[in-house]
Structure 1
């Protein structure tokens, strides 16, 4: 049986008194309003879908930089979860905040520079004020997930050049446009990052659907993605519950899309790469 680790679900508590809503940008996302999924419910969905473990990602459009519910989820189920927290990397106390959330057993950091409530790419990604956080991440081996758009790739490249030892994980593959089909000229920025060994990718339903539009096919897109990055730098993420489907259906769609890949490539994308990025998954 193929082991599965979900590298990108979220949790939202129904208890807004204990866990107040403080969304980045001041506007809560509609998905986090309409699909509140507690960590107990996420465990139940994982069990139903056959998912062994998860890297739960901070719901930035609900909680901003307050990672308390995420940390409590990991504390409640350390055998199933690790977590990716968020901090304001431009703040003077950024490194202290990173250390605090690491102390709560969260093992990755996320930068939210665009999304459903922030549709344009934010220019602060490469701001020099963030360098102290990147330097600390480099020193301690902390992976950084980045929610971004293709327009942000030049900014990210500056950071990669300065901090080549930081493992960078692109949420949703940085949302590339794929409708032109092979050789995917519109997504050249993404594929160029394949030459940088510290760049990893989160493959989600958003990417699978985009790969089947216009002149593209899922098979052609995956072939080029594997050629440039290799399966050891690609991990599957559900984006549940934001993706608005049951977790079992999200996994089924991914299994179907990747069915033509080798057993090794499937093992890496569904679990192996996640364990490389987040070694805590191996110890629980």
Structure 2
């Protein structure tokens, strides 16, 4: 884990979570042309894009210039910026990235139920294609069913997908809600299932059944989040590999850079990329996970 000195922050408070590894190494694995990092965040900089006053955490600045340099190093030509709760519903940092990347990047929003329809239209025109719901207690807890339905109705005319961020327990508690969504759905970070339960766990089995429905995908990101063993995260990689074998047309992959709120095993992003062949074991599955599936799911122009 990288260790840095906490300093005064432009938005008024010191960072409350560690920064990413400042020295990502060049990966040995070379992603195929058109590969997409389907899950990352950009934070600030706080003096340009202030953090939300009621944010659940304060990150170190991780601006778009660092993200784009990382993608060049890792070999990713496309990416998906997932709006973070530290920026709340202020999407200016996200829009700034999209404006600078000529259609090669997409965005996922955080929306309140009272968001005007013309604001969704504006975000859609800029390149946003989904809305995220956080079910985790430290990020605000499970949204109300009425609020969830209101937001889904708001984005439905634009064909946006629904992104669900849960742990394994919340996944089990919310199965009926998730299965009832008619839009495309993606589950973040392998459903954050309990890795100790392995592939025989109830939550992992439920996740596989959700993938069989045809409109639900999963991001095979966050192996560092759910691992108990630590680098090279073999326990979590085994779960990701099982899902890639089970539903190769329903899997996506992302770095989760800059890895907010990681407290144990801050990963090196080059090393995460080198885990891809262990997750997607053949070139056809790698092509699907990194290129074809995100092209379909995030409405990228086909190459």
TM over 0.5: yes
Alpha-carbon spacing, 1:270–1:75, altered in 2? closer, same or farther (3 Å)? same
Structure ranking higher in helix proportion:
1
Q: Which of the residues 127, 140, 153 maps onto 2:171?
A: 153
1:177-215 deviation digits (Å, cap 9, x = unpaired): 1223342345333233133211110111426963968xx
Which runs of 5 or more residues in structure 2 are unaligned? 1-29
Tell whether the 8 Å contact from 1:178 to 1:187 is kept in structure 2 after alignment: no
Alpha-carbon spacing, 1:223–1:112, altered in 2? closer, same or farther (3 Å)? closer
SS where residue 132 of structure 2 aligns? strand
- RMSD of the alignment, in Å? 2.9
1:251 matched to 2:251? The reply is no
1:137 matched to 2:166? The reply is no
1:227 Cα offset (Å): 5.0
Distance, in Å, in 2 between the alignment partners of 1:160 and 1:67 is: 25
Name 2:288's counterpart in structure 1: 268
1:74 Cα offset (Å): 0.4
Distance, in Å, in 1 between the alignment partners of 2:134 and 2:236 is: 27
Aligned length: 264
SS where residue 63 of structure 1 aligns? coil
Distance, in Å, in 1 between the alignment partners of 2:228 and 2:242 is: 11
Q: Which moved more, 1:269-278 or 1:67-76?
A: 269-278
Q: Which of the residues 28, 43, 47 maps onto 2:68?
A: 43
Alpha-carbon spacing, 1:278–1:10, altered in 2? closer, same or farther (3 Å)? same
Distance, in Å, in 2 between the alignment partners of 1:182 and 1:86 is: 31
1:276 Cα offset (Å): 1.1
Name 1:92's counterpart in structure 2: 114
Distance, in Å, in 1 between the alignment partners of 2:242 and 2:284 is: 17
Distance, in Å, in 1 between the alignment partners of 2:174 and 2:119 is: 22
Distance, in Å, in 2 between the alignment partners of 1:8 and 1:63 is: 16
